[in-house]
Structure 1
Amino acid sequence: MSAASSLFRHSSEAAGGGPVRALARVGIVAACILAAGCNREQQAATPPAGAVRPQVSVVTLHPRAVAITAELPGRVGASLTADVVPQVTGIIKARLFKEGTEVKAGDGLYQIDPASYQASYDSAVATLQKDQAAVPSAQAKVDRYQTLIKQNAVSSQDLDDARSTLAQAKADVAAAQAALETARINLDYTTMKAPIGGRVDASTITEGALVSSGQSTALTTIRQLDPINVDVTESSTNLLNFLAAVKSGRIKTTGSDVSVKLKLENGTIYPHPGTLRFMEANVNQTTGTFTVRAEFANPDRLLLPGMYARAILEVGLAQNSFLVPQRAVSHNVKGEATAGFVGSDGKVVQRVLSVQRSVGNNWLVDAGVSDGDRIIVEGIQLVRSGQEVAATEVTVDDATGDIRQLSQSSALDKPAGAPAPARVE
């Protein structure tokens, strides 16, 4: 039996069986029960005074000088490269170097059989001696005829013939000297020498091989590795943006002496800084990029031609700039960069930011923030604009983007406004 029917039965019995009065009493009791249930639901829906506010992590922003750097992809290349090819034809008698070692300019590399070239040299020496021997006789004849012509003992034609013979003898001597020099050069070419200093590659031929003068196949290659070059590419669009920022005063250039750092394939930073050597004066029509070359010292031969690397160029300094952690920034339906802030009243405020470029794990922002603003870096998904929150001060690691408690951060020891090295993507 239900409580309502039991109540109706007891009420009927107490009232002497009057049905109208019993129904009225049942209605009053039901209304009281419903009212009590509504009160309990209302109390459950209304938070009690002093309820816990949502927790968010914030970073306090301050303006500082930001070193603007460009990280560009590139390839390592030798500063000098020389292909070793024979200048004379002959048989290779000996290889005079050890493959893969360092050689100096002028060191012998290959020995070509010099026998035929030595014979040509000796022949040229003999020819020169013969031609030189004819000059004194021709000179004496000319001198004698010059004396006799004054006595009309010889004709002018005889004197002219003597002079012609002397000139021919001297010309023969000059030709013989040139032939001797050619023979000497060819004989010297039989010892193939290193045109530059550097590391020599493997040999493409062995002893006993026949090589030809001017052949297209190099016998080996020498590459100078210290110093060494790194050629990187940059888009013309980024160049235009940078020049516009410089012109507007947002970025101050570092001048012509641009320092360059190098990030290797394994992520480590090369220990020796480099210098910017030149920028191409034309843009590739296919890729829309131009080449920038930097030079690095390479005493340990750590860098080798063909390696992939990323050059970090310090191109300018942005004064009084704000770095906003990337994890704090999102985008609205319009594509605008937005972030949540905790105001002085402890409530959440959403703002639109003007982002210039990425700087490491931060955004370089020039509008939408001011000194002392507290930007939310964690917990923004759990709150809404105008909601009162409990803010905990933290720091964000510029290198990794990870959040660290303020008490555990070394960033507290850094003075406000200190330059922050940065990377521009």
Structure 2
Amino acid sequence: GNITYAATYTYNGQTYTIPTSGGALNINPTTGLITGKIPASYEGDFSVTIIANSSTGASASKTIDYNLMSQADFNAIEVIGPRYGAYLLAQDIGDNLMVGVGDDDILRYDFLKTGKGVIADLNEATVDKQNGYVDSVDGYKEIVGTQYDDIIIAKDGVQTNVNAYKGNDLIYSSSGGDIIVGGDGFDTVSYERSTGAVNVDLLNQNTNWGFAQNDTLVGIEALEGSKYNDVLKGDNANNTLTGGAGSDKLYGNGGNDTFIIDENDSIVDGGSGYDRVMITDDNSYNGNHISFAGAYTVGASVDVSGIEEINMDNKSYNETLHITVKDLIGSSEDNIVRIKGDLVSDFDGAYTDDNVQIHDKTAAEINNADRGTTTYQGVRYDVYDFGSEGKLYVEYGLDVLDASGNQV
């Protein structure tokens, strides 16, 4: 009694109502399967649309296209109603039509065995099961993901409860002050859709500004910022923090963290643990010209501390990382920073990709540093020992440039 249904069919540009009596439209209350008959004879293409409306005002619809030569039976539309109390269980196969009838309805995909995660957009009221079927859903404020890698977009304007369940999931927060539980796996909350800057602290469970306002995050390992000036802080686990566009401030706290930055970010603080800065094609607007504190400015300056590894991962040639040793090398990991590049040889067999330019050192100072080579985690490095300033490990094959830009 909480859900009512209607049906139409469209032929030759005209839409007609299918009667809900006389056997033209039948809904099985046990299976949720809708069957019916077109009350006319047609040749060619036509479509049938089923509309489900709940007493709370939620509505969803599903359209199936047909091509039959005579009066047509239709049986390819399944409606799943509240047959399991407040739990609405999606099916593996079929385009399901699901409508919530109350504030406590939960849309559950944790029983799916398709081998693929879902792409659930609660604003568009669709769940793509990535197996050829797309569910139409409406009226839900709570969703449970699959055991695979899901993408879930929370519904704007209301508090959405997201339980990502298992897998490495990506959850987009909304404007509603959401409760997001990552569950098992390495889970990411993205504020890319936020209309303002966000301030998120995983360690102290503080969420402020923009779409992060009043969010509750549990079991989240990674954060993605907005296009504004964000503040993102990790916890004591291994986090990945991506600032996105804007002048962002990223703090790792404990754990072995990864920072994905662009030239606009202003602060990167790794905290304790073995931390990495990743510079990729996607976030390097000006090549790999990222200037750290005290270095010559190319684009912008980034204050970096507590970082043990810098990884340049682009697919371009002759990119340069500009650093100043005295400002880059901090007190962690015995004053060692490892710089890795994307080494691809040219037709002569020479490496021509990435360069490291040391802005506070002349060629003589670099050449006079204690030199050697070492292998760490399977990567071979040239070692430059600058005494009290620390050791710089540069991946073997990368060109090292002095302050004037000349190759050492």
TM-score scaled by structure 1?
0.20
Asked which structure has the greater CA Rg, the reply is 1
- Structure richer in strand, relative to its length: 2
TM-score, L = length of structure 2: 0.21
